């Protein structure tokens, strides 16, 4: 049994900071000098160095000095076959898909292209501090296989599945419902709960799905109730109108997914910008999650997600955050925090409700909780990852809070000259990382107790 | 007479791309293999290498390979004494000023602090590719002196001036109108048109200015009509309401500055988010400029600047772009382009006017024009800088279009494997730099023909 110890400064969460307005620190945990003991990739013990080290003599220690160690980031919504078309000019959602996205995704029928892309994809995620993602593939099973196989090779946790679309897509891109059902079924058998893989039944979005494709999803979910369901919802107003028009029997967008029995725990819909209060309430009561994708929502000009409304304690929606590469333009979830903060502030440019305005403010506590434990809870993987509780998988990131644009280090020196001694100092440094820094802060990324990324420059 | 030649791939502008919808390339100029000849810091000759090199035998050549060479970036709105408080959590404009900004700016009374800060300030600008800025100082003349002195030491073009405020600021921070007049007058004598320095009479903003302070500004402008005037305008709705309330004789915010004779060529007001159509029309007809500060407008949640309206050809407003450090969170104007693009797209989330929506799209042509020649025109310094026309000052930046987050290089390889051969390729690479890249793309920054920054890592 391989055992190792990681010594350093740790910051993680034990609760949701939105539940502690004005006392957000009560949701976090900080060890200026901490120790994590890892056995066979899992956290065996964790706490203050003085205390934990007494229980583990003769431990092989790795000391990550001058770093803030956080749980690995969770990206709840990312498109594997769009990694290369990130930053494509000038279109809003529906035309952007046609002009840029489908032509690139078509290449993922080719196994060599898909396999190389899968390596690049995880390289990019790790360089941004992400250790777990929920990913869309293309309409080709080859893309799903390439992605799951590469994740297994790296022993990385992955939620993914064949991405079905049979409408509003080029003919050579679309699936048929039959082949979608058959291939999904095969892939579930091959990858679901194999190693760290988890399968998500993945209708791309309601507008791209015929009733037959949706029925195939229902059948898959009935036959495999422990699978995840991953899709999009209410990203743009044009899309919402079109979905309503194509589904006259459904009162709103969410009702389409509800009609086919997909909405419940382990269901997540990306974006949710234009969800009504009633839809938020149904998300909350069913235990389904919205994945907030700040970079993408701004890049495509889709709109401003109502963070403060989704986090209303009376109808609290589970929220993961996503990069939404390639409509998002930053692979690192640190970029999502930057833009998410701004969306919260923009929401407050005109908002009378003071409590909702307060909930729109993405403090460093709320931000880093969202991309670690909060994301894990939303995706129902918090028994596996999300914080440093003993028994969880040892996925973590070591942040250099001074690495970024040239001005960052001077900004951070306003907080502390050396390493942080208090939780408040650490949180303020983390706010600097998310708003003034970027992926340069990611010094190392560890997966199941193994260092898979180390910044070289 | 020192003469040198810079060989490489050049991209600059000869016109405003907004004047060429659908044909934006007509506003740009591209040399895949170009040559710039510099004599005593000024551009003596420029064009295709084959042609220009024939006219200049025995030239000492610096070949900047695998770089895109653009005019140095122009930052039209930046706060020198806020360089350290960049990324300060949680407040909108008026409370942000009180909580974070005034306490930091107070330190700039101290000459040692201000002088060290001035070095850091220009280091940060140069690392982001900025060669010219229009900067606010603090209320202390010491800060203005430190800034002008450091700019002179580096031979950098600078527009700045003592920043006056006598209301809504802490007592130990405020100026008196008399001392503001006297010190401004002294500083104009010492710095205006000395070396590359240009003086801007700088009332911080209408809300911070008593009628007496505004009268001091009018008198300074009357006595020194060739000075610049730099201030803020219509940043938040609360601010606009407060200004209207304090100036019942003025029909709108701009009218306050008009009342004191400040609005005309070389006047610029930062932000302008909440300007009315009538105010835009008056900006246009008077030749005054708005400085658009995308990062700041999002960071403080101030609102979405109506780019497409300000660029309406029927009332075209001169626009510079600004980082607005420290409310902006990126020193490099590349960060401003990222967020400016997103603001344009967000404006289009709900906009019926197709022509205005088209003008909201920040193409790479519009973006890079805005932070080079466009900014120079807005600030009335286009006789000096902004493009590579012979006679202008040789300020330029060499961009490495593959340097940024790990995924950037792969994205750029969709455009071209080697260096760009066409203007379209170069523009597409530049879009990648502005949306997927960041300041890491700035490989070198040259000022008056001297290399003042070179990226080391």
Look at the block and give the residue holding tokens 């495509």. Answer: A300
Number of other CB atoms surrounding residue B271 within 10 Å: 28
Per-residue pLDDT tens for B352-379?
A: 899 999 999 999 999 999 999 999 999 9
Look at the block and give the residue holding tokens 């340069």. Answer: A440
Please, what's the b/e burial string for A21-60 (b: 16 or more CB within 10 A of its CB; e: otherwise)? eeebbebbbbbbebbbbbbebebbbbbebeebbeeeeebe
* Overall number of domains in chain A: 2
A406–B331 CB contact, under 8 Å? yes
pLDDT score of B457: 63
Per-residue pLDDT tens for B23-64?
A: 999 999 999 999 999 999 999 999 999 999 999 988 999 999
The residue that leads in pLDDT, B95 or B198, is B198
Residue B78 to residues B94, B130, B283, B380, B395: CA-CA distances in angstroms?
17, 11, 21, 17, 19
pLDDT score of A344: 97
Residue A164 to residues A83, A179, A203: CA-CA distances in angstroms?
19, 10, 5
Q: Which of B124, B301, B413, B427 to mutate against chain A (most A CBs within 10 Å)?
A: B301
The whole-angstrom separation of Cα B438 and Cα B440 is: 5
The alpha-carbon gap from B51 to the nearest alpha carbon of chain A, in Å, equals: 34
Pair of tokens at residue A205: 């979005």
B411–A304 CB contact, under 8 Å? no
Residue A397 to residues A126, A127, A437: CA-CA distances in angstroms?
9, 10, 15
Q: Which residues of A touch B347 (CB under 8 A)?
A: 301
The whole-angstrom separation of Cα B208 and Cα B214 is: 10
Which of B378, B411, B441 is the endpoint of a domain? Answer: B378
Angle at A156 between CA A150 and CA A160, to 5 degrees: 70
Residue of chain A with shortest Cα separation from B235: A349
B364–A89 CB contact, under 8 Å? yes
Residues A62 and A79 in one domain: no
Q: Which residues of A touch B341 (CB under 8 A)?
A: 299
Number of other CB atoms surrounding residue A106 within 10 Å: 17
DSSP annotation string for B144-166: HHHHHHHHHHHT-EEEEE-EE--
Bridge partners, B202 (sequence order): B163
Angle at B413 between CA B409 and CA B417, to 5 degrees: 120
Q: Which residues of A touch B299 (CB under 8 A)?
A: 341-342, 345, 435
How many contiguous H segments (helices) and E segments (strands) does chain B have? 18, 16
The whole-angstrom separation of Cα B183 and Cα B217 is: 12
From B82, B228, B260, B239, select the one nearest B158 (Cα to Cα).
Answer: B228
Q: Which of A25, A84, A86, A87 to mutate against chain B (most B CBs within 10 Å)?
A: A87
The alpha-carbon gap from A51 to the nearest alpha carbon of chain B, in Å, equals: 34
Residues A149 and A219 in one domain: yes
The alpha-carbon gap from A365 to the nearest alpha carbon of chain B, in Å, equals: 12
Residue of chain A with shortest Cα separation from B428: A89
Which of A360, A378, A396 is the endpoint of a domain? Answer: A378
DSSP annotation string for A237-274: HHHHHHHHHH-TT-SSHHHHHHHTT--STTEEEEE-TT
Residues A418 and A439 in one domain: yes
The alpha-carbon gap from A93 to the nearest alpha carbon of chain B, in Å, equals: 10
Q: Is the peptide bond before A326 cis (omega within 30 degrees of 0)?
A: yes
Q: Which of B22, B95, B405, B441 to mutate against chain A (most A CBs within 10 Å)?
A: B405
How many contiguous H segments (helices) and E segments (strands) does chain A have? 18, 16
B84–A410 CB contact, under 8 Å? yes
Residues B176 and B246 in one domain: yes
The whole-angstrom separation of Cα A113 and Cα A292 is: 29
pLDDT score of A374: 98
Domain CATH code at residue B144 = 3.20.20.140
Q: Given a cut of 80, is residue B2 above it in pLDDT? A: no
Mean pLDDT of all residues in B287-297 = 98
Q: Which of B240, B329, B336 to mutate against chain A (most A CBs within 10 Å)?
A: B329
Residues A283 and A370 in one domain: yes
The whole-angstrom separation of Cα B440 and Cα A107 is: 30
Based on C-alpha coordinates, what's the Rg of chain A?
A: 21
Residues B106 and B248 in one domain: yes
The whole-angstrom separation of Cα B287 and Cα A289 is: 51
Q: Which residues of B touch A325 (CB under 8 A)?
A: 407
Q: Which residues of A touch B329 (CB under 8 A)?
A: 338, 435-436
A350–B237 CB contact, under 8 Å? yes
Q: Which of B75, B87, B300 to mutate against chain A (most A CBs within 10 Å)?
A: B87
pLDDT score of B91: 75
pLDDT score of B132: 98
Question: What is the ipTM for the molecules in this complex?
Answer: 0.97
Q: Given a cut of 90, is residue B130 above it in pLDDT? A: yes
pLDDT score of A1: 55
- Give the strand pairing for A3-13 and A267-271: unpaired
Residue of chain B with shortest Cα separation from A93: B349
B117 and B80 Cβ atoms separated by less than 8 Å: yes
pLDDT score of B1: 55
From B137, B105, B95, B164, select the one nearest B302 (Cα to Cα).
Answer: B95
pLDDT score of B88: 87
Domain extent for A325: 73-378
| φ, ψ dihedrals at A98, nearest 5° | -70, -45
Q: Which residues of A touch B236 (CB under 8 A)?
A: 349
The whole-angstrom separation of Cα B236 and Cα B293 is: 13
The alpha-carbon gap from A438 to the nearest alpha carbon of chain B, in Å, equals: 9
A164 and A213 Cβ atoms separated by less than 8 Å: yes
Pair of tokens at residue A339: 């833009």
Residue of chain B with shortest Cα separation from A92: B345
Q: Which of B79, B349, B365, B404 to mutate against chain A (most A CBs within 10 Å)?
A: B349
Residues B93 and B55 in one domain: no
| φ, ψ dihedrals at B63, nearest 5° | -100, 110
pLDDT score of A35: 98
Residues A62 and A85 in one domain: no
Q: Helix, strand or coil for residue A398?
A: strand
Residue B248 lies in a domain: yes
Q: Which residues of A touch B274 (CB under 8 A)?
A: none
A391 and A37 Cβ atoms separated by less than 8 Å: no
Question: Is the whole model's pTM more than 0.90, yes or no?
Answer: yes
A407–B86 CB contact, under 8 Å? yes
Q: Which residues of A touch B407 (CB under 8 A)?
A: 83, 86, 120, 124, 325, 331
Q: Helix, strand or coil for residue A233?
A: strand
Q: Where are the alpha helices (DSSP H) in B64-140?
A: 93-96, 102-106, 111-127
Angle at B332 between CA B410 and CA B23, to 5 degrees: 65
What does the CA dihedral A166, A168, A172, A175 come to, rounded to 10 degrees?
Answer: -10
| Beta carbon pairs, A and B, within 8 Å | 143
A303–B92 CB contact, under 8 Å? no
Q: Which residues of B touch A455 (CB under 8 A)?
A: none
For A124, the closest of B85, B86, B406 (CB atoms) is: B406
For A345, the closest of B298, B338, B457 (CB atoms) is: B298
Pair of tokens at residue B160: 């700045």
Number of other CB atoms surrounding residue A409 within 10 Å: 17
Low-confidence ranges of chain A (pLDDT < 50): none
The alpha-carbon gap from A323 to the nearest alpha carbon of chain B, in Å, equals: 13
The dihedral through the CA atoms of B214, B218, B219, B225 has a sign that is: positive
Residue of chain A with shortest Cα separation from B299: A342
Residue of chain A with shortest Cα separation from B429: A87
pLDDT, mean over chain B: 96
pLDDT score of A218: 98
What is the distance in angstroms between the CA of the first residue and the CA of the last residue of chain B? 34
Per-residue pLDDT tens for B158-187?
A: 999 999 999 999 999 999 999 999 999 999
Q: Which residues of A touch B127 (CB under 8 A)?
A: 405-406
The whole-angstrom separation of Cα B58 and Cα B63 is: 15
A431–B89 CB contact, under 8 Å? yes
Which of A378, A409, A431 is the endpoint of a domain? Answer: A378
The whole-angstrom separation of Cα B86 and Cα A431 is: 11
pLDDT score of A152: 98
B65 and B33 Cβ atoms separated by less than 8 Å: no
Q: Classify burial at A249, counting beta carbons within 10 Å of its beta carbon; exposed 0-12, middle 13-18, buried 19 or more.
A: exposed
B124–A407 CB contact, under 8 Å? yes
A298–B345 CB contact, under 8 Å? yes
Q: Which residues of A touch B351 (CB under 8 A)?
A: none
Residue A338 to residues A93, A361, B122, B408: CA-CA distances in angstroms?
22, 12, 25, 19
Q: Which of A235, A362, A406 to mutate against chain B (most B CBs within 10 Å)?
A: A406
Domain CATH code at residue B426 = 2.30.40.10
The whole-angstrom separation of Cα B432 and Cα B425 is: 11
| φ, ψ dihedrals at A3, nearest 5° | -125, 135
Mean pLDDT of all residues in B143-163 = 98
Q: Classify burial at A356, counting beta carbons within 10 Å of its beta carbon; exposed 0-12, middle 13-18, buried 19 or more.
A: middle
Residues A65 and A89 in one domain: no
Residue of chain A with shortest Cα separation from B435: A87
pLDDT score of A99: 82
Residue B434 lies in a domain: yes
A86 and A94 Cβ atoms separated by less than 8 Å: no
Sheet holding A42-48, edge to edge: A42-48, A28-39, A3-13, A61-71, A396-399, A442-447, A450-454
Residues A178 and A326 in one domain: yes
Q: Which residues of B touch A302 (CB under 8 A)?
A: 349
A346–B407 CB contact, under 8 Å? no
B349–A301 CB contact, under 8 Å? yes
Residue B383 lies in a domain: no
The alpha-carbon gap from A120 to the nearest alpha carbon of chain B, in Å, equals: 8
The alpha-carbon gap from A291 to the nearest alpha carbon of chain B, in Å, equals: 19
Number of other CB atoms surrounding residue A173 within 10 Å: 18
Nearby residues of B211 by Cβ (< 8 Å), 6 or more positions away:
none
pLDDT score of A93: 75
B89–A405 CB contact, under 8 Å? no
Mean pLDDT of all residues in B424-432 = 95
Residues A342 and A237 in one domain: yes
Residues A13 and A104 in one domain: no
DSSP A437: B
């Amino acid at each position: 049994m391989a055992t190792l110890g990681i010594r350093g400064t740790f910051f993680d969460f034990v609760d949701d900071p939105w539940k502690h307005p004005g006392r957000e620190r009560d949701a976090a945990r900080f060890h200026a000098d901490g120790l994590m003991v890892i056995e066979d990739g899992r956290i065996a013990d964790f706490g203050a160095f003085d205390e934990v080290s007494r229980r583990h003599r003769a431990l092989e220690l790795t000391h990550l000095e001058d770093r803030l160690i956080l749980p690995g980031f969770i990206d709840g919504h990312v498109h594997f076959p769009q990694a290369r078309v990130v930053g494509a000019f000038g279109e809003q959602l529906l035309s952007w898909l046609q002009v840029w996205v489908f032509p690139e995704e078509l290449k993922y029928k080719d196994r060599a292209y898909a396999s190389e892309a899968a390596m690049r994809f995880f390289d990019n995620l790790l360089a941004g501090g992400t250790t777990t993602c929920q990913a869309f593939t293309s309409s080709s099973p080859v893309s799903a296989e390439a992605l799951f196989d590469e994740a297994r090779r790296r022993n990385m946790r992955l939620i993914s599945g064949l991405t079905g679309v049979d409408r509003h897509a080029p003919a050579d891109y679309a699936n048929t419902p039959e082949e979608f059902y058959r291939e999904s079924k095969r892939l579930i058998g091959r990858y679901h709960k194999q190693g760290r893989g988890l399968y998500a039944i993945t209708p791309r979005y309601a507008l791209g799905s015929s009733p037959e494709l949706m029925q195939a999803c229902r059948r898959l979910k009935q036959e495999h109730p422990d699978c995840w369901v991953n899709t999009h919802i209410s990203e743009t107003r044009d899309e919402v109108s079109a979905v309503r028009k194509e589904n006259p029997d459904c009162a709103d967008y969410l009702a389409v997914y509800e009609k086919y029995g997909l909405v419940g725990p382990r269901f997540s819909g990306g974006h949710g910008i234009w969800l009504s209060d009633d839809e938020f309430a149904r998300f909350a009561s069913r235990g389904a999650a919205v994945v907030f994708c700040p970079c993408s929502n701004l890049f495509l000009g889709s709109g401003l997600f109502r963070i403060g409304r989704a986090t209303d304690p009376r109808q609290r929606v589970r929220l993961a955050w996503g990069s939404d590469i390639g409509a998002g333009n930053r692979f690192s979830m640190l970029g999502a925090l930057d833009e998410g903060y701004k969306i919260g502030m923009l929401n407050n440019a005109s908002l009378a409700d003071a409590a909702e305005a307060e909930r729109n403010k993405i403090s460093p506590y709320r931000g880093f909780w969202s991309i670690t434990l909060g994301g894990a809870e939303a995706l129902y993987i918090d028994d596996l990852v999300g914080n440093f509780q003993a028994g969880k998988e040892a996925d973590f990131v070591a942040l250099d809070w001074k690495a970024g644009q040239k001005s960052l280090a001077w900004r951070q020196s306003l907080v502390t000259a050396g390493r942080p001694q208090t939780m408040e100092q650490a949180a303020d440094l983390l706010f600097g990382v998310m708003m003034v820094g970027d992926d340069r802060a990611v010094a190392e990324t560890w997966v199941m107790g193994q260092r898979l990324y180390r910044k070289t420059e």
